[in-house]
């Protein structure tokens, strides 16, 4: 059995990290959604990958200089990719995304806290606030990060699952993984350079999987979760379709 996680929602066909992309992923049959959060000037979290609105909203504005309410005045419709097709589409707040997730019982949300926010505001401030927000939704949520310090802080909070995203797949990172003991290890599939992935008390999630053939190949190697931009296309495959998730 393999479960498909929608990378930034159904981001191949819809503006990334938006409620529109999240809804489309659910409709397509995704079993999980990954999205990114940055901390704004008022301490709230915006669901956005970059620390600047230029790429998704077309305006050169730093997330760190504005409140969430101010940022939500701009449309994240990704004009470079989609022209005006999806305009207007607000940047979601983390709370809006959590409310959406709560309506889909069984859905897993991977919430990636970005390193730019950790560097700008500090791990303690960002992770304390994030843990407080995620705790009521811990049954469905996993906080993920490239940052070891962030993962350690989540473990101190207690009750929230963690996913450590690997910069590299090498012996140094393996040693850190053994010490961190996250619930999930997350890695780009192209970085895996061994026949068998590291064994431990974690589950693996491989991202950058953009075809049904590749997803099935990883499934045969024991990988239970793959992350993709193309969740709808992959679930057109007859074998993968049986593993689609449906929600009331």
Kindly state whether residue 43 falls inside one of the protein's structural domains. no
Kindly state whether residue 56 falls inside one of the protein's structural domains. no
Is residue 174 over pLDDT 90? yes
Residue 88 near residue 231, CB atoms below 8 Å: no
Kindly state whether residue 246 falls inside one of the protein's structural domains. no
Q: What is the DSSP string of 84-101?
A: TTT-S-BPPBHHHHHHHH
CA 194 to chain centre: 25
Which CATH number does the domain housing residue 161 bear? Answer: 3.20.20.190
Kindly state whether residue 53 falls inside one of the protein's structural domains. no
> For residue 74, what pLDDT is reported?
98
Residue 4 near residue 226, CB atoms below 8 Å: yes
Whole-angstrom distance, CA of residue 54 vs CA of residue 57: 6
Q: What is the pLDDT of residues 109-151, one digit of tens each?
A: 999 999 999 999 999 999 999 999 999 999 999 999 999 999 9
Radius of gyration over every alpha carbon of the chain, rounded to an integer in angstroms: 17
pLDDT confidence of 84, banded at 50, 70, 90? very high
Whole-angstrom distance, CA of residue 191 vs CA of residue 203: 17
Candidates 104, 180, 189; CA nearest to 145 is 180
Q: Report the domain count for the chain.
A: 1
Q: What is the pLDDT of residues 6-63, one digit of tens each?
A: 999 999 999 999 999 999 999 999 999 999 999 999 999 999 999 999 999 999 999 9
Its pTM surpasses 0.85: yes
Kindly state whether residue 30 falls inside one of the protein's structural domains. yes
Kindly state whether residue 62 falls inside one of the protein's structural domains. no
pLDDT confidence of 1, banded at 50, 70, 90? confident
Q: Which residues are identified as catalytic?
A: 7, 49
Residue 244 near residue 21, CB atoms below 8 Å: no
Is residue 103 over pLDDT 80? yes
Kindly state whether residue 52 falls inside one of the protein's structural domains. no
């Amino acid at each position: 059995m393999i479960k498909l996680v929608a990378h930034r929602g159904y981001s191949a066909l819809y503006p990334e990290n938006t409620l529109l992309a999240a809804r489309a992923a659910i409709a397509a049959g995704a079993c999980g959604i990954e999205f990114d959060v940055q901390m704004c000037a008022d301490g709230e979290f915006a669901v956005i990958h970059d620390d600047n609105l230029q790429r998704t909203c077309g305006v050169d504005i730093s997330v760190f200089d504005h409140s969430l309410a101010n940022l939500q005045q701009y449309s994240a419709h990704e004009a470079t990719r989609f022209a005006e097709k999806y305009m207007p589409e607000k940047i979601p707040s983390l709370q809006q995304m959590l409310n959406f997730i709560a309506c889909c019982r069984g859905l897993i949300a991977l919430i990636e806290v970005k390193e730019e926010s950790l560097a700008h505001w500090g791990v303690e401030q960002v992770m304390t606030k994030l843990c407080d927000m995620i705790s009521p939704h811990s049954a469905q949520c996993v906080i993920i990060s490239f940052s070891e310090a962030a993962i350690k802080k989540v473990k101190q909070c207690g009750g929230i699952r963690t996913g450590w995203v690997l910069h590299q797949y090498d012996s140094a990172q393996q040693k850190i993984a053994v010490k961190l003991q996250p619930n999930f290890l997350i890695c780009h599939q192209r970085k895996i350079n061994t026949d068998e992935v590291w064994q431990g008390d974690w589950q693996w999630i491989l991202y950058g999987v953009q075809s049904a053939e590749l997803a099935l190949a990883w499934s045969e190697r024991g990988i239970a979760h793959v992350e993709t931009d193309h969740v709808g296309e992959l679930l057109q495959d007859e074998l993968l379709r049986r593993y689609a998730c449906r929600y009331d």
